[in-house]
Amino acid sequence: MKAEKDVNPLLSWLFYRELIVELYKKPLAEGITLCVYNRDRLIFSDSGHWLTPLFALERFLSTYEGERDCLCAHDTAAGKAAAVLMSRMGIKRAHINLISDLAVEFYEANDIAVSWETRIPHLDCKTEELLMDMESEEEMYRLLRRRAKLVQGVSIAARRVSFAYPDNPPVLEDLSFDVEEGGRLIIQGDNGMGKTTLLNLLMGKLKCTSGTILIDGQEPSALAKRTIGYIKQQQTQEQYPVSAREVVSMAVDSSLEPKQQKWEIDTALRRTGVYELADRNFFTLSGGERQKVSLSRTLCQKARLLLLDEPTSFLDAKSRKTLVEVLHSLTVDEMPTIVIVTHDKELEADLTWPVLRLEGRHA
C-alpha cells in the first residue's frame, strides 16, 4: 500500500499538468477569434479577424511581464501566415478550428504541437498564395507587416530625374527608381557619381532640373518635419559643448512625458552601443562613435525615411557589426524606408539589399 501512495500523487500531478495544458483546446466563446494561455491561465483574447488578433498579441507580449514558458493558442483559422507569426512569438502549442496544409507543415517544421478540427489543402486567401514558396521567416514577416499596414516607412517614386548645377553638365540624368513603404535600397557608385546630390534631392534641399521625386506621394519639401532622418558623413572638426545625450534628445518627441522621453533616449543609445558615452562631449568622440550617436538620434526621431551617407567611412570592425545589426533590426521591426549611399562593396554584401548603381554621369 505504501508504494501505491507514493506513486498516486505523482500520477495525479502528471495528469493535472496535462489537463491544464489542454485547456486551450476548449471551444472559443462567442465572438472571440483568438485565445492565448500560459498553461492554465488565459492571458490574452481578441475578437478581430484575419491576422489582426495575432499582431495585437505581438503588441501585448512586448510589455507582458508574466510567465510565458508554455504559450498555447486557440485560433479560429490558420494558414501559413498565422503559423509564421505564432512561431515568432514563441507559441508552443496551437489548436486551430480550420487549418491549411501549409500551416500544418510550418507548425511541425518549427516544433509547435498543433491540433485541429478541420484541415483543408489551402485557405482561399491572397496572403497564403504569396507565402506558398517563401522560406525566409524574416521576409515572410516583413511581407505580413506590409500587408497589415504596420510599416513605419514611406514610398519613394523617382521619375526621369535629372539634375545639373548652373553652367555644369548633368550630375544625374534620366534616373528612375521606386522604393516601397518599409523598403531598402543601397545606392552604389564611385565618388563624383551624384550619390550625395541624390540624397539632397530626396531631402528637398535641391530641386530636380527635370523629372519628379515623390515621397509618400508628396514632394520632399512638403513632408512633415520629422519624416526624414539624415545621417551624414562625420567629418566636422567643429566644437560645441553638447553631450551625446543632448544630441539624441534633440530628436525626441517633446509631447511625451519626461520619464518616457528619457526611456526613448536611453533605449536609442543602448541600441547602438553608445549608452556609456551619453555624457561625453559629442565633438570629442571618434568619427565612428559620432556616427552611432547620430543613428541613435534618428531612432529617437522615429524617422519614416532614413538616409545614410557613407555610414561606414569611419567605423572599425566592431562598429560596422553594430551598424549592420541595428539596420537589420530596423528592417524587421519598425520598418522605416532606408536608403544608403556608399561605395563600400563589403557593406553591400553584408546587407544583401537591392542596389541602384550610378555609373558615368548618370544612372
Q: Domains of the chain (ranges plus CATH)?
A: 2-147 (3.40.140.30), 156-357 (3.40.50.300)
pTM: 0.79
Q: Is the pLDDT of residue 92 over 90?
A: yes
pLDDT at 288: 77
Residue range 336-353: mean pLDDT, rounded:
90
Among 361, 363, 347, CA closest to 186: 347
Q: Is 186 in contact with 347 (CB distance < 8 Å)?
A: yes
Q: What is the pLDDT of residues 198-257, one digit of tens each?
A: 999 999 999 999 999 999 999 999 999 889 999 887 555 566 788 999 999 998 988 889
Share of the chain above pLDDT 90, in %: 58
pLDDT at 235: 54
DSSP string of 222-261, one letter each residue: GS-TTSEEEE---------S-BHHHHHHTTS-TTS-HHHH
pLDDT at 215: 96
| Beta strands, E only, 40-171 | 41-46, 71-78, 93-100, 113-120, 156-163
Residue 4 binned pLDDT confidence (cut-offs 50, 70, 90): very low
Residue with the bigger pLDDT between 286 and 52: it is 52
136: three-class secondary structure by DSSP: coil
Range with the largest mean pLDDT of 51-60, 273-282, 346-355: 51-60
- CB neighbours of residue 301 within 10 Å: 23
Q: CA torsion, points 47, 52, 58, 60, in degrees to nearest 10?
A: -40
List, in order, residues 6 or more apart from 360 with CB less than 8 Å away.
193
Among 59, 51, 58, CA closest to 75: 51
- Location of C-alpha cell 525615411: 305
Q: Is the pLDDT of residue 6 over 90?
A: no
pLDDT at 286: 80
Q: Is 170 in contact with 361 (CB distance < 8 Å)?
A: yes
Main-chain dihedrals φ then ψ at residue 202, nearest 5 degrees: -65, -35
What type of residue sits at position 61?
L
Q: Which helix (H) or strand (E) holds 34?
A: strand 34-38
Q: Is 153 in contact with 127 (CB distance < 8 Å)?
A: no
Q: What is the pLDDT of residues 123-133, one digit of tens each?
A: 988 999 999 99
Q: Is the pLDDT of residue 30 over 70?
A: yes
Residue range 74-99: mean pLDDT, rounded:
96
Q: Is the pLDDT of residue 5 over 80?
A: no
Sign of the torsion formed by the C-alpha atoms of 16, 18, 23 and 27: negative
Residue range 20-45: mean pLDDT, rounded:
90
In angstroms, the Cα distances linking 111 to 68, 91, 131, 356 are 17, 10, 19, 40
Main-chain dihedrals φ then ψ at residue 251, nearest 5 degrees: -100, -10
